[in-house]
C-alpha cells in the first residue's frame, strides 16, 4: 500500500546547524506534500504545502527563509531548518495525498528535532 517514509526520525544538533528532513512517497507519486509541526503536548499545525516543481506555500507566521522546502521530484520533498535554534526544537511530520479511497493521506512517522 501507499506509504510515506520520513527520515531521519531523530536529530540532535548544535545551535546554528542546518538540518534537512526528507519525506518520500513510496509506491505512489505525490505532487503535493504537507509539512506539519507539533509542539510538545500540542496539536499539529500546518507549516507549508510543498508543490512539485514550484514554490511551496507557507502558512501565515512561518518564516520562508528559516524553513526551506524543496519538492524536486514526484516522490521527494525536503524541509531544511536553516541555522536552527533551540526554539526550533519540535516534532515535524509530513503527509502526502495517496489518491486511495481507503487511506486518502498517509503521514510520515515524524522527525524529532532537538537543538542544543
Size of the residue set binding other proteins (CB under 8 A): 24
Three-state secondary structure along 15-50? Answer: CCCCEEEEEEEECCCCCEEEEEEECCCCCEEEEEEE
Instruction: Determine which residue in the list 44, 62, 68, 76 makes contact with other proteins, applying CB under 8 A.
Output: 44
Length of the chain measured in residues: 116
User: Considering the rule CB under 8 A, would residue 46 count as an interface residue with other proteins?
Assistant: yes
User: Considering the rule CB under 8 A, would residue 50 count as an interface residue with other proteins?
Assistant: no
Binding residues vs other proteins (CB under 8 A): 6, 32, 34, 36, 41-46, 49, 93, 95, 97, 99, 101, 103-105, 107-110, 112
Amino acid at each position: 500500500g501507499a506509504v510515506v517514509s520520513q527520515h531521519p526520525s531523530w536529530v540532535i544538533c548544535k545551535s546554528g546547524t542546518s538540518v534537512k528532513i526528507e519525506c518520500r512517497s513510496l509506491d505512489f507519486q505525490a505532487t503535493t506534500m504537507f509539512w506539519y509541526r507539533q509542539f510538545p503536548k500540542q496539536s499539529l499545525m500546518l507549516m507549508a504545502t510543498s508543490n512539485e516543481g514550484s514554490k511551496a506555500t507557507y502558512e501565515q507566521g512561518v518564516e520562508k527563509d528559516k524553513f526551506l522546502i524543496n519538492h524536486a521530484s514526484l516522490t521527494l520533498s525536503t524541509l531544511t531548518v536553516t541555522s536552527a535554534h533551540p526554539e526550533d526544537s519540535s516534532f515535524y511530520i509530513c503527509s502526502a495525498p495517496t489518491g486511495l479511497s481507503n487511506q486518502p493521506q498517509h503521514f510520515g512517522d515524524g522527525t524529532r528535532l532537538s537543538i542544543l
